[in-house]
Copies of this chain bind each other. A is one copy, B any other.
C-alpha cells in the first residue's frame, strides 16, 4: 500500500507519517521507484503501536523510538529486549542525591525491596540503577518533602498488590506466540497503565463514597 492508504487505514495524517519515518519510528517502505515506496501490514501495525504509545501511553517521540528500536533488535534475547524497552519509558526527573531527603527515601526503597526479596539492580557487574527504582525514589522523596512521609511498611501493600498483578500481566503475555511476546509485554506494560490508574481513581471514588456517604 502507498503512504496515502497507510494514512487512511490508520487515521494518522500523511504529514505525521512522514515525520515518523524521518524520526525513525517507522522503518522506510520498500522502494518501488525513485519516488515511490510500498508499505505493508507490518507497517500499519507498527504505526498503530507508535500512536498508542504516544497518545495513550504519553511516551515522548524520542523514547518511543528507543522502545521500538529495542523491540526490533535481533541481537538481543527475549529479556534484554524487554528490559531495554521498559527502561526507555519515561520515568520522570532523576532524584537529587545531594538532598538528604532523597538519601532517606533511598533507604526506605532499599528496605522495601530487600524485604520483598526483589533485586532492583540489573543483571551482572556494575549495572546502572533501574529507572523504575529511581522513579520510586523520586516519588517517595517528593511525598516526604510535602509532609506525607511513607515508610517501607506503608508501601508494602502497594508492592504486594503490584506483585500479584505482575503475575496476571505475565500470564496475559504468555497467551501469545513467543515471537509476539516482547511486543505484547511492552504494549501491556504501557497501555495497562491508564487502565490501572483509571480503575484506581474509580476505586478511590467508591471507597470515599462508602466512608463519607453524606458529605
Give chain A's interface residues, CB within 8 Å of chain B.
45, 48-49, 52, 55-56, 58, 77-79, 82-83, 86, 89, 91-93, 113, 118-120, 130, 132-133, 135-136, 138-140, 142-143, 145-148, 150, 154-155, 157-159, 161-170, 172, 184-185, 187-189, 191-209, 211-212, 215
A148 to B45, CA, bound (A): 12
Residues A205 and B92 in contact in the complex (CB < 8 Å), given A159-B199, A162-B196: no
User: Are B132 and A201 within 8 A (Cβ)?
Assistant: yes
Residues A203 and B56 in contact in the complex (CB < 8 Å), given A146-B187, A188-B148: no
Q: Contacts of A205 on B, CB cut-off 8 Å?
A: 83, 86, 130, 132
> Which single residue of chain B is at the shortest CB-CB distance from A167?
B207
Determine the main DSSP class of A at the interface with B. Answer: helix
> Which single residue of chain B is at the shortest CB-CB distance from A118?
B206
A207 to B86, CA, bound (A): 14
Residues A170 and B211 in contact in the complex (CB < 8 Å), given A135-B197, A194-B138, A206-B118: yes
